[in-house]
Amino acid sequence: MVISVASGQGGTGKTLVATSLALSLSADSKVQLLDCDVEEPNDHVFLRPEIAGSKAVSILVPRVDEAKCTYCGKCAQVCAYHATAVLGNHVLTFPQLCHGCGACCYLCPEKAITEESRQIGVVEWGHSDALGFVQGRLAVGEAMAPPVIRKVKEYANKDDTVIIIDVPPGTSCPVVEAIKGSDLCLLVTEPTPFGLNDLALAVETVRKLGIACGVVLNRVGVGDNKVEEYCEQESIPILLTIPLDMEIARLYSRGIALVAGIPLSKSSFLQLFDKIAEIIDERSRSPER
């Protein structure tokens, strides 16, 4: 079972939900937490995992052998990202723009292009007590998060482990890469106009991918009730509410997971999981998805 934890707006509590859900379940079942927020991975702050290994994440970029190159310009012509250019008797490559599609190398008539690895990040794995843990980190100054996210997801266990994915904020390609293939996506939001606006965008994203979703409403107490109204209108279940509580905020600031700081909250996360399992089960039995 794959559960992703996302939100349009940042800072609504994805990390809080992902870490506490994972920790609550890991006492009795096999659970693995994948931190796919590779631009700003924070789950490790709360889990303090023992890192068992790491591997560079690279993409393949072209390397031109000028001895073989006839400056025909084919590579520049086929590159959709303008990552190669031919000027007279010079070939220039711009590795930062390259998406690593491999077209230039394959299509070069002189076989003058080979591919070499360029590191854009790292993937690390380990565990925090019984909880399996994988995270990706995009290198500072690098633009492309999706290849790092893809690599993190390759480390997901293929057996009956419950996989929980912490997703980056937003609605664009890194989010899609992270939530693709999930059985359910939890959308964490807060009861404000910002929370509502970005929740609606996140809902559109998961619907486009055909993924079931449920809402976690965080910091209930200030704000308005428009998110509840929206969820009712759109028939999206609110699976958990978390109150606005300075104690929760202070625990968070010190890097303490909610279920570690307030052990009583564990039952809420176990209930959340039961509701998720029920939705996934229902969906798998209904003929149309």
Partner 1 sequence: MKEVVVLSGKGGTGKTTIVGSLAALVERKVLADCDVDAADLHLLLSPAERQQNEFWSGQVAHIDAERCNGCGLCQELCRFNAIKDFRIDAVSCEGCGFCSHVCPTEAISMKENMAGYWYISDTRYGPLVHARLGIAQENSGKLVAVVRQQARHIAEEGGFEYIISDGPPGIGCPVISSLSGAGLALLVTEPSLSGMHDLERVLGVCRHFGVPAMVCINKYDLNEENTRQIESQCLSQGVKVVGRVPFDNVVTESIVQGVPLVEYSNGNVTREIEGMWRRLLMILTKGGKT
Residues of this chain that interact with partner 1 (CB under 8 A) are 8-12, 15, 39-40, 42, 45, 78, 80-81, 99-103, 106-107, 138, 140-145, 168-176, 180, 192-194, 197-198, 201, 204-205, 208-209, 222-224, 246, 249-250, 252-255
CB of 69 to partner 1, least distance (A): 19
Smaller CB distance to partner 1: residue 27 or 56?
A: 56
**CA 108 from centre of chain:** 35
Smaller CB distance to partner 1: residue 3 or 248?
A: 248
What is residue 129's three-state secondary structure? coil
Asked if 8 contacts 199 with a C-beta cutoff of 8 angstroms, the reply is: yes
CB of 221 to partner 1, least distance (A): 9
CB of 266 to partner 1, least distance (A): 21
Smaller CB distance to partner 1: residue 60 or 279?
A: 60
State the Cα torsion 179-185-190-192 to the nearest 10°: 80
Smaller CB distance to partner 1: residue 150 or 283?
A: 150
CB of 165 to partner 1, least distance (A): 16
Beta strands (DSSP E) in the chain are: 2-6, 31-35, 50-64, 84-87, 90-93, 113-128, 131-138, 162-166, 184-189, 212-220, 238-243
Pairing of strands 113-128, 50-64: antiparallel
